[in-house]
């Protein structure tokens, strides 16, 4: 069991509340905690508690994306919890040397009866990561599948990085208040985390203005508007034009963002940057632009591509300056070295914006001086979100959640066969304002703050013009003397049980193929003989059983080679 000293204060408080309430009402306990606060650690600690107390003997973790399966398994390995992240439904059963399994919401929806049996034969704790995604999917089929699959589980621990609500069918196991907002059993928002210290870092938001031009389909007249002056109906086409890689706006923002990253890397050499793109086409185009700016290849992570998880993993553990992603890094993915971002998505919901911000605010240590910097288009709605980011995030409608998943505007400006608008161009970006600590500072105000900072002589690490502007605006006193943080020690890579078994299975397959070639016997016949003689199946065998299978094959090959 984890010691209290291993947990942050909020995690220990949430853990104690969980146990004092015996897992919550009807075995359901919802934790809403800001991204980066440590929900995974809390959940794994509670799981170990319940195993030790003999409340459960089985764990099922349900996640929204494939990449998060590995991330949960690796976190579990560090905590001594063995989670199978390579399981597929057709296996039918999880090997006995695992404590549990990590699967996606989609996998549950495709085989609810399988998971109903799986959670019923043992005392099971089900952990729903980012439970608000259960409201996604056509006709809310994910939610229905979860109810069918886990209604009779022993305990259900629900996790979310953002508050949410429903204006339609309620998500199973979630309790709602009178205003149809999810009622958490424990809440820990960004403002609380920032006030506590040691959990999240502050963030500032340079809002970049610029002129966008477009014309309606079939018309010759060109509409031109500055992003900061676009009204509700003009925002979709204006944003689309600004984010067009063939225009001038997005390349100029990428130049500014890279300059900010270079300044950050003076004090934090491995600081990284992330561009959130709207679609695959834009992501690849942005990569080419950034490669010209940076002078080196820029990785692109696209959820539909099989190597996306490896791309993210390599970037997280390396020191490359930039990565570009299409939505998939917006939630749940842990890359603490991210410090600079570019919000180049057309999604304009509060939930998605908050999730993106969550990728940049995870603190790397109590002395981390980094102030995260997320460049955003200067449209009113994003500026309002930025100003409110340190407050408890308001609930988001279910249809907005679906829109986030699909990454679409759904505002009459979709890129169908006959698009409603034709992008004409965009100007280079200009600084409109920077949102810091809930206040908005103009270019002139920041320039004056920078001049004050320059006149002060040697600048303490972590002191920014935004910070000085905040002091000046409130007539406060300067109290720098910040220290340089120790660079995070490289974390020892833990090989999960699933990884070990995957490697063994691949080796076994090669050995069977070799034996089949030597003996001129069918591959399937040899596999069947092994299954019968060893009384197990390679898909569900334990690690020791796989090692024994490999030894049997080695001996058989050795004997055949003697002949």
| Residues 369-425: tens digit of each pLDDT | 678 899 999 998 998 888 877 443 333 223 333 333 333 344 433 444 345 566 667
Q: Does any domain span residue 58?
A: yes
Judged against a pLDDT cut of 50, whether residue 180 lies above it is answered with yes
Judged against a pLDDT cut of 50, whether residue 165 lies above it is answered with yes
Residues 273, 243 within the same domain: yes
Residues 13, 116 within the same domain: yes
pLDDT of 535: 92
Residues 369, 327 within the same domain: yes
Interatomic CA distance for residues 396 and 158, integer angstroms: 17
pLDDT of 22: 92
Calculate mean pLDDT across residues 443-469: 64
Cα three-residue angle 360-414-107, rounded to 5 degrees: 60
Q: Does any domain span residue 481?
A: no
Q: Does any domain span residue 126?
A: yes
Choose among 103, 111, 95: nearest CA to 72. 103
Interatomic CA distance for residues 161 and 187, integer angstroms: 10
Which domain-ending residue is among 188, 214, 241?
Answer: 188
CB atoms within 10 A of CB 503: 12
pLDDT of 477: 33
SS3 271: coil
pLDDT of 292: 96
Judged against a pLDDT cut of 70, whether residue 20 lies above it is answered with yes
Choose among 262, 271, 277: nearest CA to 201. 271
CB 453 within 8 A of CB 335: no
Mean pLDDT across the chain, nearest whole number?
Answer: 80
| Chain segment 493-511, per-residue pLDDT in tens | 567 888 888 878 877 877 7
Q: Does any domain span residue 246?
A: yes
Residues 165, 230 within the same domain: no
SS3 track for 342-361: EEECCCCCHHHHHHHHHCCC
pLDDT of 400: 30
CB 98 within 8 A of CB 502: no
Q: Does any domain span residue 196?
A: no
| Terminal C-alpha separation, the chain | 55
Interatomic CA distance for residues 373 and 431, integer angstroms: 14
Q: Does any domain span residue 482?
A: no
CB atoms within 10 A of CB 349: 18
Would you place residue 486 in the very low, low, confident or very high pLDDT band (cuts 50, 70, 90)?
A: very low
Judged against a pLDDT cut of 90, whether residue 517 lies above it is answered with no
Interatomic CA distance for residues 418 and 68, integer angstroms: 36
Assign residue 351 the CATH number of its domain.
3.40.50.300
Burial (CB count within 10 angstroms: exposed 0-12, middle 13-18, buried 19+), residue 68? buried
Cα three-residue angle 239-273-445, rounded to 5 degrees: 65
Residues 363, 316 within the same domain: yes
Q: Which of 104-113, 167-176, 511-520 has the lowest mean pLDDT?
A: 511-520
User: How remote is the C-alpha of 506 from its chain's centroid?
Assistant: 30
Judged against a pLDDT cut of 50, whether residue 335 lies above it is answered with yes
Percent of the chain whose pLDDT exceeds 90: 39
In 211-343, alpha helices (H): 235-242, 249-267, 280-294, 308-317
Residues 33, 177 within the same domain: yes
Percent of the chain whose pLDDT exceeds 70: 77
Question: 192 phi and psi, to 5 degrees?
Answer: -65, -40
Q: Strand pairing of 211-216 and 223-226?
A: antiparallel
Interatomic CA distance for residues 332 and 527, integer angstroms: 39
Residues 285, 341 within the same domain: yes
Which domain-ending residue is among 188, 209, 241?
Answer: 188
Residues 51, 132 within the same domain: yes
Structure tokens, 435: 């949102």
Would you place residue 182 in the very low, low, confident or very high pLDDT band (cuts 50, 70, 90)?
A: confident
| Chain segment 61-84, per-residue pLDDT in tens | 999 888 889 989 999 999 999 999
Structure tokens, 84: 């199978």
Which domain-ending residue is among 160, 188, 216?
Answer: 188
Calculate mean pLDDT across residues 535-555: 90
User: In which domain, by residue range, is 552 found?
Assistant: 497-562
The strand ranges marked E within 133-282 are 155-160, 186-188, 203-209, 211-216, 223-226, 272-277
Interatomic CA distance for residues 38 and 265, integer angstroms: 25
Interatomic CA distance for residues 150 and 175, integer angstroms: 16
Would you place residue 492 in the very low, low, confident or very high pLDDT band (cuts 50, 70, 90)?
A: very low
| Chain segment 121-142, per-residue pLDDT in tens | 999 999 999 888 776 554 457 7
| Chain segment 206-239, per-residue pLDDT in tens | 999 999 998 887 678 888 999 989 888 899 999 9
Would you place residue 190 in the very low, low, confident or very high pLDDT band (cuts 50, 70, 90)?
A: confident
Task: Specify the pTM.
Answer: 0.67
The distance between the two most distant Cα atoms of the chain, rounded to a whole number of Å, is 91
Would you place residue 487 in the very low, low, confident or very high pLDDT band (cuts 50, 70, 90)?
A: very low
Beta bridge partners of 133: none
Q: Which of 203-217, 303-317, 351-365 has the highest mean pLDDT?
A: 203-217
Choose among 172, 191, 192, 190: nearest CA to 182. 172
pLDDT of 398: 33
Residues 160, 215 within the same domain: no
Question: 372 phi and psi, to 5 degrees?
Answer: -65, 150
CB 228 within 8 A of CB 378: yes
Residues 252, 371 within the same domain: yes
Our count of domains for the chain comes to 3
In 347-420, alpha helices (H): 350-358, 380-388, 398-406
Residues 438, 511 within the same domain: no
Q: Does any domain span residue 385?
A: yes
| Chain segment 96-126, per-residue pLDDT in tens | 999 999 999 989 999 999 999 999 899 999 9
Q: Does any domain span residue 489?
A: no
Q: Which of 287-296, 353-362, 472-481 has the lowest mean pLDDT?
A: 472-481
Residues 235, 135 within the same domain: no
pLDDT of 399: 34
Judged against a pLDDT cut of 50, whether residue 201 lies above it is answered with yes
Choose among 266, 259, 256: nearest CA to 377. 256
């Amino acid at each position: 069991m984890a010691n209290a000293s291993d947990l942050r204060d909020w995690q220990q408080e949430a853990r104690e509340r969980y146990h004092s309430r015996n897992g919550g009402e009807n075995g359901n306990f919802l934790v809403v905690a800001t991204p980066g606060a440590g929900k995974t650690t809390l959940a794994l600690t509670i799981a170990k508690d319940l195993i030790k107390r003999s409340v459960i003997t089985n764990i099922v973790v349900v996640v929204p994306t494939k990449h998060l399966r590995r991330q949960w398994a690796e976190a579990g390995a560090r905590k001594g919890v063995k989670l199978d992240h390579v399981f597929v439904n057709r296996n039918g059963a999880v090997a006995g040397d695992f404590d549990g399994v990590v699967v996606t919401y989609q996998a549950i929806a495709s085989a609810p009866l399988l998971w109903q049996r799986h959670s019923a034969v043992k005392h099971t704790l089900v952990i729903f990561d980012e439970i608000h995604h259960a409201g996604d999917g056509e006709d809310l089929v994910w939610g229905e599948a979860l109810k069918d699959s886990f209604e009779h589980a022993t305990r259900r621990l629900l996790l979310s990085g953002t508050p949410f609500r429903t204006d339609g069918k309620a998500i199973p196991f979630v309790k709602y208040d009178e205003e149809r907002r999810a009622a958490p059993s424990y809440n820990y928002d960004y403002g609380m985390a920032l006030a506590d210290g040691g959990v999240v870092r502050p963030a500032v938001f340079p809002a970049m203005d610029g002129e966008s031009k477009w014309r309606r389909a079939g018309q010759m007249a060109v509409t031109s508007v500055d992003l900061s002056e676009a009204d509700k109906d003009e925002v979709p086409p204006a944003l689309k034009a600004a984010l067009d890689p063939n225009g001038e706006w997005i390349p100029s923002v990428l130049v500014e963002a890279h300059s900010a990253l270079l300044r950050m890397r003076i004090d934090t050499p491995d600081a990284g940057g992330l561009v959130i793109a709207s679609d695959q086409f834009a992501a690849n185009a942005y990569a080419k632009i950034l490669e010209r700016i940076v002078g080196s290849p820029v990785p692109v992570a696209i959820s539909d591509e099989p190597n996306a998880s490896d791309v993210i993993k390599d970037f997280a553990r390396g020191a490359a300056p930039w990565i570009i992603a299409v939505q998939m890094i917006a939630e749940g993915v842990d890359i603490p070295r991210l410090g600079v971002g570019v919000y180049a998505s057309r999604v304009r919901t509060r939930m998605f914006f908050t999730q993106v911000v969550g990728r940049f605010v995870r603190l790397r240590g109590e002395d981390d001086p980094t102030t995260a910097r997320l460049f955003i288009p200067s449209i009113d709605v994003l500026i309002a979100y930025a100003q409110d980011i340190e407050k408890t995030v308001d609930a988001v409608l279910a249809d907005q959640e679906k829109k986030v998943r699909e990454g679409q505007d759904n505002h009459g400006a979709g890129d169908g066969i006959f698009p409603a608008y034709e992008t004409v161009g965009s100007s280079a970006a200009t600084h409109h304002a920077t949102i810091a600590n809930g206040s908005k500072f103009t270019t002139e105000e920041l320039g004056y703050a920078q001049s004050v900072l320059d006149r002060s002589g040697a600048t303490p690490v972590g002191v920014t013009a935004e910070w000085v502007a905040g002091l000046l605006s409130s007539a406060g006193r300067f109290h720098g003397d910040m220290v340089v943080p120790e660079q995070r020690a490289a974390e020892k890579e833990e090989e999960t049980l699933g990884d070990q078994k995957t490697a063994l299975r691949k080796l076994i397959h090669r050995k069977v193929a070799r034996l089949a070639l030597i003996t001129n016997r069918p591959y399937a016949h040899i596999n069947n003989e092994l299954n019968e003689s060893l009384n197990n199946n390679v898909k569900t065998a334990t690690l020791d059983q796989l090692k024994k299978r490999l030894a049997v094959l080695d001996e058989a090959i050795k004997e055949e080679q003697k002949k």
